[in-house]
């Protein structure tokens, strides 16, 4: 029933044909259960395991590799090859792909738990009126039309319409749904608000919220999915996981690479058609198969098999570093997404603020002479912890606040005229409240004031355990006074009073709204000497001005405290006793901003990241908080920058677009508005991070490019998020974004390293095929280079230190390619050199090496006709393992030097030396040791078709390898001079190398 809030209680009861004095009868319960269903959130079926596995192989490069593996296997069978070497290549490829798939399945299996967590917010039982009798039933058995009774501490079991108040008031904490920092008062009267949001529906009790004060009866109007909590579930189900920017760009680059690889493979095969008839092959068909194997080897060489594994490893390393910063990553790809975040939509309550009401200002009357003067005190501390000090206008700390009469009596009133509890939870290591936030704030104030009469009081309190310290001073006053009678808070009086006795005296303490309390006061307590003087109009006017300043400019929630000495022996209070009171003073409290928020938000802005504050609170309160944070000081006012959800929805489409580009504050929102905001920003090509901690934040957290939950938040928010801030510290987001940017830079570096190395392998095979010389590398050698010599340094590049100015540049654009045009040109230059050096090493051994045959180059080109003509050398020289060993070693060493080039994209090795990343140095040493192992250990050298090299061979290897450093230093120089970045390529084709594609909608 969607409009129950606009209907009278009688209309709602008539709609469900229910008598409020008797409730539903059995037959109605059965009928309503059939029509409306059960009061449970349906479980969503999980993705089948097989489907998850198959999803991991839905990638073009992966499919090419699978095809290459099976073709290699088939060709081995056709040729009658046997033994380990025949099937090593396809087996290793399939093992790598299986490992990558396993990582993907594990990640996705652990991701979808948010919907299950919603069950924790459903009530277990409910007090229901049926057949004229009240009974306690499982909440799952509720049906629309049931009359339910709720009281303090109850979790609301379903969406319900208030029909009767059984106490002076009913207050509900609905922060998990709306994000409001204070509990809200509920009423029976219908609401006339147009386009009412949850906050406007003051006669509706929402499922999962908690009653913090009062008692009432309500009629169920929605169960299961037809509740506010159910709509959150449905919104989360409708949200599809967004592909991260890095994944999109890697997919684009993979598609481009696949086209290039396919073209080169076909070209290599076609170029060698003339050699199919060569006698060495044993026939045309076998010649075709031979060169087809070369084309397959070329595909294996070109595809970076280890890329997915290295990307995953790099992201995992990033998550470990971020965990040390208290940012716990739940989804690996989100680490990279942080680097291109352009907008952070930050929840206010619990994220920018502590979500702990705290007294921040006190106003008392000081003295009448020489002129009536009031004085303000500030109170430090922004949590429920009894830690903080009281200081005067000059900022000087009061050593013994309890020695001042007004502060002393304020502490007494705060402790005694109070129904809440403050306790320490050792399991969570934090202080917790039971009851109203405003009352707990007064208890904390009493602890900060301390006790009078002890010179060592401040230090003595610090020596207590946290459990004892939580309410030590409050317990002191509760032991000193005996509470005799309580006049509860009521809406008409807007105050609460309690009668206390102590020895031979009785006193009534009162607290309430300043208007109500001050209108009942005739005198005031002086803070200077404890005297009581008449409350003159002049003094009253000054106090009203102070109150207006607290409530207006500073938007503090204000309470006035008062007392009255009563006749000894009085045991009861009446409303008539609440007059002729003595005013103690005013307290102003707020949900305070976190101390570190201002610097964190300014850091975001310096990094080109816009912050939008999103809250369910009212506009005035939120704007005041934003001013307190100081991050919006550059705005003269909030006109055009601050909108309520209703105001924003009423804007024409064009104005909405403009408003989104300026929006800094979004208030009075409900869950659907947050999700709408995220979608609207994404449609403007923004990369959106959403922070939050409540159930109400879950749909938006799931929809955002990266959802950031608070560690103290609800389980639903954490499960729907990509990252959890363990310390609830907004500043941690800044550190996480810096880490995300650094990880992306490192990702680009190891992609550059792997691709340039693979291009070198392709050039090597292609040039050898074009020149008509023997195969420089056999497939198993290519596989060794790809897996071991590529993989270890590429992983170590992930440990590159982040640049010092990483948070001083604007976020990279979503449509920015991982590989830009200039960068791809650098790939080609470096890759071409790697390939040519590898071929040069092969030719050197045949033509120039002292240990080689010193053949004329023309003989090398005609090696395939050796058996058909007379030669001065034996034909088995072309089966010697030395030349391919030299080629393979050149390829390995040149790639190690190339790894050093990738310590930075544009900075010289003279600026960022190799020892800046000791992991990389270690990986290069380990790689070379492994390469030595296969060269000089007999069984391995046979397996990989290699042989030991002499010192003269090693010198040539180093001569051919080192120039890659010089070439890349020159390319970096051009990059730094910005000329390379603006270089235009005539051969550029948009369909081959995607640059500026728009992000997927």
Question: 3-state SS of 96-126?
Answer: HHHHHHHHHHHHHHCCCCHHHHHHHHCCCEE
Task: Give 644's contacts (C-beta < 8 A, 6+ positions apart).
Answer: 619, 666, 667, 668
Distance CA 159, CA 208 (A): 9
Q: Which of 146, 159, 173, 347 is catalytic?
A: 347
CA-CA-CA-CA torsion sign (938, 944, 947, 949): negative
Distance CA 239, CA 697 (A): 13
Is 694 in contact with 717 (CB distance < 8 Å)?
Answer: yes
Distance CA 182, CA 258 (A): 58
CB atoms within 10 A of CB 502: 12
CA distances from 300 to 66, 75, 90, 348, 758 (A): 10, 15, 10, 52, 9
Distance CA 560, CA 414 (A): 11
Is 108 in contact with 180 (CB distance < 8 Å)?
Answer: no
Is 821 in contact with 993 (CB distance < 8 Å)?
Answer: yes
DSSP 934-983: HHHSHHHHHHTT-----HHHHHHHHHHHTHHHHHHHHHHHHHHTTTGGG-
DSSP 423-449: EEETTTTEEEEES-HHHHHHHHHHHHH
Q: 592: closest CA among 379, 362, 376?
A: 379
Count of residues in the chain: 1001
DSSP 471: T
Angle between helices 84-109 and 60-78 (to 10 degrees): 160
CA torsion angle for 751, 756, 762, 765 (degrees, to 10)? -140
Task: Give 810's contacts (C-beta < 8 A, 6+ positions apart).
Answer: 607, 608
Phi, psi of 908 (to 5 degrees): -70, 155
Distance CA 17, CA 21 (A): 12
Distance CA 374, CA 367 (A): 7
DSSP 729-750: -HHHHHHHHHHHHHHHHHHHHH
User: Which residue in the block uniquely carries the two structure tokens 């654009």?
Assistant: 813
Task: Give 897's contacts (C-beta < 8 A, 6+ positions apart).
Answer: 961, 962, 964, 965
Beta-strand pair 159-165/204-205: antiparallel
Record the tokens describing residue 966, joined without a space: 């010089």
User: Which residue in the block uniquely carries the two structure tokens 């000497």?
Assistant: 529
Burial of 110 (0-12, 13-18, 19+ CB in 10 A): exposed
Residue 58 annotated in active site: no
CB atoms within 10 A of CB 646: 17
The SS3 assignment for 513 reads coil
Task: Give 576's contacts (C-beta < 8 A, 6+ positions apart).
Answer: none
Alpha helices in 772-820 (DSSP H): 779-784, 791-797
Distance CA 717, CA 710 (A): 8
Phi, psi of 360 (to 5 degrees): -115, -20
DSSP 147: E
Burial of 939 (0-12, 13-18, 19+ CB in 10 A): exposed
Mind telling me the catalytic residues?
A: 347
């Amino acid at each position: 029933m969607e409009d129950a809030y606009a209907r009278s209680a009688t209309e709602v009861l008539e709609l469900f044909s229910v008598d409020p004095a008797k409730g539903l009868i059995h037959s109605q319960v059965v009928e309503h259960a059939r029509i409306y269903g059960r009061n449970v959130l349906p479980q969503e079926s999980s993705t089948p395991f097989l489907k998850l596995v198959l999803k991991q192989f839905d990638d073009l490069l992966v499919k090419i590799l699978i095809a290459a593996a099976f073709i290699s296997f088939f060709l081995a069978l056709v040729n009658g090859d046997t033994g380990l070497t025949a099937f090593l290549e396809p087996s290793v490829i399939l093992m790598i792909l299986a490992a990558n798939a396993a990582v993907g399945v594990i990640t996705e299996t652990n991701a979808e738990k948010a919907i299950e967590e919603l069950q924790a917010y459903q009530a277990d039982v409910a007090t229901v009126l049926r057949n004229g009798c009240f009974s306690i039933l499982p909440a799952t058995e509720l049906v629309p039309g049931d009359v339910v009774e709720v009281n303090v501490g109850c979790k609301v079991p379903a969406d319900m319409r208030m029909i009767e108040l059984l106490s002076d008031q009913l207050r509900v904490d609905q922060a998990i749904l709306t994000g409001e920092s204070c509990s809200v008062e509920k009423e029976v009267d219908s609401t006339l608000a147009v386009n009412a949001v949850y906050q406007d529906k003051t006669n509706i009790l929402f499922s999962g919220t908690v009653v913090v004060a009062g008692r009432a009866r309500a009629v169920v109007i929605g169960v299961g999915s037809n509740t506010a909590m159910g709509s959150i579930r449905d919104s989360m189900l409708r949200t599809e996981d967004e592909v991260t920017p890095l994944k999109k760009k890697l997919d684009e680059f993979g598609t481009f690479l696949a086209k290039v690889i396919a073209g080169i493979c076909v070209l290599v095969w076609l170029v060698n058609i003339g050699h199919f008839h060569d006698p060495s092959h044993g026939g045309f068909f076998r010649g075709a198969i031979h060169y087809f194997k070369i084309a397959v080897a070329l595909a294996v060489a070109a595809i970076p098999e280890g890329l997915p594994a290295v990307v995953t490893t790099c992201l995992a390393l990033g998550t470990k570093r971020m965990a040390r910063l208290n940012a716990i990553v739940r989804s690996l790809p989100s680490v990279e997404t942080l680097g291109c975040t352009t907008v952070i939509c930050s929840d206010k309550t619990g994220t920018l603020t502590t979500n702990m009401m705290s007294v921040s200002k006190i106003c008392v009357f000081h003295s009448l002479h020489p002129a009536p003067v009031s004085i303000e005190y500030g109170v430090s501390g922004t949590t429920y912890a009894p830690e903080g000090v009281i200081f005067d206008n000059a900022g000087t700390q009061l050593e013994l606040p309890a020695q001042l009469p007004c502060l002393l009596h304020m502490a007494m009133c705060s402790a005694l005229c109070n129904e809440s509890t403050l306790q320490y939870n050792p399991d969570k290591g934090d202080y917790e409240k039971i009851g109203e936030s405003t009352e707990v704030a007064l208890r904390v104030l009493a602890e900060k004031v301390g006790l009078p009469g002890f010179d060592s009081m401040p230090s003595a309190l610090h020596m207590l355990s946290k459990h004892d310290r939580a309410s030590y001073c409050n317990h002191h006053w509760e032991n000193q006074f005996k509470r005799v009678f309580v006049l509860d808070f009521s809406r008409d009086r807007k105050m609460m009073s309690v009668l206390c006795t102590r020895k031979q005296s009785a006193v009534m303490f009162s607290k309430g709204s300043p208007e109500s309390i001050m209108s009942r006061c005739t005198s005031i307590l002086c803070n200077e000497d404890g005297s009581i003087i008449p409350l003159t109009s002049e003094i009253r006017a000054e106090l009203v001005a102070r109150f207006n300043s607290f409530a207006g400019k500073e938007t503090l929630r204000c309470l006035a405290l008062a007392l009255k000495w009563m006749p000894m022996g009085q045991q009861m209070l009446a409303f008539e006793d609440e007059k002729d009171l003595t005013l103690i003073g005013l307290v102003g409290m707020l949900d305070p901003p976190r101390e570190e928020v201002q610097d964190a938000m300014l850091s975001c802005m310096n990094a080109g990241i816009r912050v939008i504050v999103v809250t369910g609170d009212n506009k005035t309160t939120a704007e005041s908080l934003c001013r307190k944070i100081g991050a919006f000081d550059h705005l003269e006012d909030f006109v055009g920058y601050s909108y309520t959800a209703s105001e924003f929805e009423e804007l024409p489409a064009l104005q909405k677009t403009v408003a989104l580009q300026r929006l800094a504050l979004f208030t009075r929102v409900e869950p659907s508005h947050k999700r709408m905001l995220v979608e609207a920003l994404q449609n403007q090509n923004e990369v959106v991070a959403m922070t939050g901690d409540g159930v109400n934040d879950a749909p938006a957290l799931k929809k955002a490019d990266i959802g950031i939950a608070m560690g103290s938040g609800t389980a639903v928010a954490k499960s729907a998020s990509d990252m959890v801030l363990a310390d609830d510290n907004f500043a941690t987001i800044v550190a996480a974004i810096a880490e995300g940017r650094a990880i992306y830079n490192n990702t680009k570096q190891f992609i550059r390293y792997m691709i340039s190395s693979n291009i070198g392998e392709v050039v090597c095979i292609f040039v050898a095929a074009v020149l008509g010389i023997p195969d420089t590398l056999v497939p198993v050698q290519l596989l060794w280079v790809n897996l071991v010599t590529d993989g270890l340094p590429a992983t170590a590049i992930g440990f590159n230190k982040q640049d010092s100015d990483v948070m001083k540049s604007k976020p990279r654009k979503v449509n920015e390619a991982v590989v830009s045009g200039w960068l791809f040109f650098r790939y080609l230059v470096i890759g071409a050199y790697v390939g040519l050096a590898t071929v040069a090493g092969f030719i050197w051994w045949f033509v120039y090496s002292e240990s080689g045959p010193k053949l004329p180059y023309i003989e090398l080109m005609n090696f395939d006709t050796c058996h058909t003509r007379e030669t001065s050398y034996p034909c088995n020289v072309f089966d010697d393992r030395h030349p391919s060993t030299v080629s393979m070693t050149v390829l390995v060493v040149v790639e190690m030097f190339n790894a050093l080039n990738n310590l930075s994209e544009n900075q010289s090795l003279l600026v960022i030396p190799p020892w800046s990343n000791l992991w990389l140095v270690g990986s290069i040493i380990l790689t070379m040791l492994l390469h030595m192992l296969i060269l000089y250990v007999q069984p391995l050298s046979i397996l990989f078709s290699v042989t030991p090299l002499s010192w003269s061979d090693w010198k040539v290897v180093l001569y051919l390898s080192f120039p890659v450093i010089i070439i890349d230093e020159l390319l970096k120089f051009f990059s730094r001079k910005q000329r390379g970045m603006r270089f235009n390529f005539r051969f550029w084709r948009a369909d081959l190398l995607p640059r500026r594609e728009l992000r997927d909608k």
